[in-house]
Structure 1
Amino acid sequence: MSRITGRLTVAVLAAAATLGLGGPPARADTPAAPGVTVPDLKTDDGSFIQSVGVTDDRHVTFTVYSAAMKQTFPVAVLRPEDTSEPRPTLYLLNGAGGGVDSATWQLRTDALDFLSDKNINVVQIIGGAFSWYTDWLQPDRELGVNKWSTYLGKELPPLMAAALGSNGANAIAGISMAGLPVLNSVIFNPGLFRSAAVYSGFFQTTTPLGRESIKMVTELYGGGKVENMWGPEGGPLWVANDPTLNAEKLRGTNLFISTGNGIPGAFDVPGARGRMEAPADTAKTVALGSFIEANVELSTVILQKRLESLHIPATFEFRSSGTHIWGYWQDDLKTSWPVLAQGLFPPP
């Protein structure tokens, strides 16, 4: 979870996470930044880029129509410094708020500054709050239609590749709620993502801890029903979406996983980097973040042991302190860069 501030209302989600409902919107012809086009392309299911808004030659925002969800979503992109040749692409996911609140990489970290000289496209996913970025069985009264596995793995990548003229090398990274779908995006789409990084994620859906973590995000904070997501607990979709059980399919991917241990550290004092609450609320927010991160560490240890049993190499960073907050994730992203770069810039 990237922020525990209570449940977003349906109206806020609808306004901020989507740009229109119903059938495909009319396509707009919008001037693009250098090296960016609005391709005359539809995916197999009918998804397409409606338009692109240009902030400057480095920052553009696409409006993408998802046929699976019958909605349009904004996709914010940081372009490479040098666009003279095709470049790789990093897909960057936020946490429980889905990037529609103020708990985002862009607002809470210097991630985009850090990545700005790496000569990559940085595709920031916006939408999917409390959904675990997965394909739901049926629409939910509070959270609507969610087909995020399809969007992340089948709809968006070919559209971004065409619009950005990328070279086909992709990586994916995310925090907290995004940990599960980051690994599942690798598992469900063999060969699409060469590297994957997760900072403070959960990695099991079939353990008591995993099930309760999923329910806490979706039901307590999102107001949705997990039965609408994967059916009854313990059913086949819960098993299919457990990356620890299905870890064999992670083989060949450059993996980086980091976690704190719940012990308060440098960023767990009022006003520290990445803190979002009022200073008077820091103590209780740290207590909750400590509880969450201690459970994150347990989940990470389970994944580590599973990968070791399968002889699948991965880089694990077990920090000596830290709760569930952005200050640590900013540092973790930088620590993970060599692993991400192995897939984005493979040796010849």
Structure 2
Amino acid sequence: MGVAVALLAPLAVALSDVAPRVAAAPNPAGFDFWVDSPEMGPIRSRVFRAKDGNTNRVVYALDGMRAPETHSGWENDTNIANALTDWNINVVMPIGGMSSFYTDWNAPSSFVGLPPTGSSSGSGALNVISEGPGKSYRYAWETFINQHLRWALNSRLGFNPNRNGVFGLSMGGSGALTLAAYHPDQFSFAGSYSGYLNISAPGMREGIRAGMIDAGGYNVDSMAPPWGPQWLRMDPFVFAPLLRDHNTRLWISAGSALPGPADGFNGNTINGMGLEALALVNTRAFQVRMMTLGANNVTYSFPATGIHSWTYWEAEVYRMLPDLSANIG
């Protein structure tokens, strides 16, 4: 166990996109959609309407571990909103949720009960004393997406609340499968790119602990106590039978951890290779689990090149699009 922790923790320094976000302008096709959460206050999402104007086909795109309060990485670093809307799919991008795993937390994030006392910039252990979302209140992202956002989209925009799709990268991939597993009436399709789908494997909790400290200074123990029902409930490897039994259409992907020619050879590439190797091991374990369960509702995509970066996740959306389109609405 100690060896596993030593190997995994350094790889978990940033369990999401590894390249710095660029200061991109918002996509003018999208608009802000605010919804109140009783636990978290007003939460903003970005909405992109389907090209043909339908309200029946809806997909949620979830961000990674460093999800900021400004715009989703999907809008900031990719062009997938335009691709999806061209396929006549409405796109919803919830904003925020850094280190949240899009789940309902046990308590506000804190260390030994201490409240946040200041601000910190950059990454690293100093983030544990910084203020931030989910520290003065309890994260309740699963409830927000399943109840408050879902029904606000229905009542105010007429969006279909059933047979939606959901996908995400890294942390968001794990969150997408969790949402689909426990809310099959809302989600008929779920996609995970480079997700951590075997979080109870040896060393994974401590790897996630290190990643959450680096990504905003969050405490994994505030999310879910170790190895209890709440933790196991959010482990895709554990709840895999639900996805099989609901016949949820799944798209499960991870790269080979080998960089492509455009990646260059620098610190971001090396970090992205390590992170993707970890995601690949997790994703392959989930694949074996589903195969032993006799599940035939999954498409697996394991490209020959691909590290933990937006370039490869954007490409994966294009590969997934026909399957997504055929299984929502």
- Common fold, TM-score beyond 0.5? yes
Partner of 2:164: 170
* Secondary structure of the structure 2 residue equivalent to 1:65: strand
TM-score by length of 2: 0.80
What amino acid maps onto 2:32 in structure 1?
T
Cα displacement (A) at 1:256? 0.3
Matched residue SS, 2:252: strand
Identity rate of aligned residues, in percent? 31
The 8 Å contact of residues 87 and 325 in structure 2, kept in 1 or not, is answered as no
Alpha-carbon distance change, 86 to 284 in structure 1, aligned in 2, over 3 angstroms: closer
Amino acid at match of 1:66: S
Choose the corresponding residue for 1:265, options 255, 260, 269. Answer: 260
CA offsets per residue over residues 213-260 of structure 1, 9 Å max, x none?
3213212322111111102x2122111111111111112111001111
1:3 Cα shift?
3.1
Distance 1:75 1:341 in 2: 22
Structure 2's unaligned 5+ residue stretches are 1-14, 21-26, 111-130
Stretches of 4+ moved more than 4 A in 1? none
Aligned to 2:6: none
Whether the 8 Å CA contact 1:195–1:342 is kept in 2: the answer is no
Partner residue, 1:191: 185
How far is the alpha carbon of 1:209 from its aligned partner?
4.1
Q: What CA distance in whole angstroms lies between the structure 2 residues aligned with 1:322 and 1:209?
A: 24
Residue type at the aligned position of 2:192:
V
Query: How big is the shift at 1:331?
Result: 0.7
Distance 1:113 1:86, change over 3 A: closer
C-alpha displacement of 1:212: 3.0
| Deviates most, 139-148 or 172-181 | 139-148
Aligned residues: 281
1:160 CA displacement: 1.0
Q: Distance in 2 between matches of 1:305 and 1:129?
A: 30
1:80 counterpart residue number: 50
- Would the aligned equivalents of 1:130 and 1:222 in 2 still touch at CA under 8 Å? yes
Aligned to 1:108: 77
Q: Does 1:152 align with 2:145?
A: yes
Tell me the equivalent position of 1:34.
Answer: none
Distance 1:216 1:259, change over 3 A: same
Mapped partners of 2:262, 2:70: distance in 1: 21
Could you tell me which residue of structure 2 aligns to residue 64 of structure 1?
35
Residues 107-148 of structure 1 show CA distances to partners (whole Å, capped at 9, x for unaligned) of: 211111211212221001101011111111111245422111
**Cα pair distance change 1:113/1:182, threshold 3 Å:** same
Where does structure 1 lack aligned partners over 5 or more consecutive residues?
7-54, 270-281
1:261-340 superposed matches below 5 A:
261-269=256-264, 283-313=266-296, 314-340=298-324
Larger RCO of the pair (alpha carbons < 8 Å, separation 6+)? 2
1:189-229 Cα offsets, whole Å, 9 max, x none, are 12210111111111122112431332132123221111111
User: C-alpha offsets along residues 11-40 of structure 1, whole Å, 9 cap, x if unaligned?
Assistant: xxxxxxxxxxxxxxxxxxxxxxxxxxxxxx
* Larger proportion of helix: 2
User: After the TM superposition, which of the residue ranges 141-150 and 255-264 deviates more from structure 2?
Assistant: 141-150
Q: Which residue of 2 aligns with 1:140?
A: 109
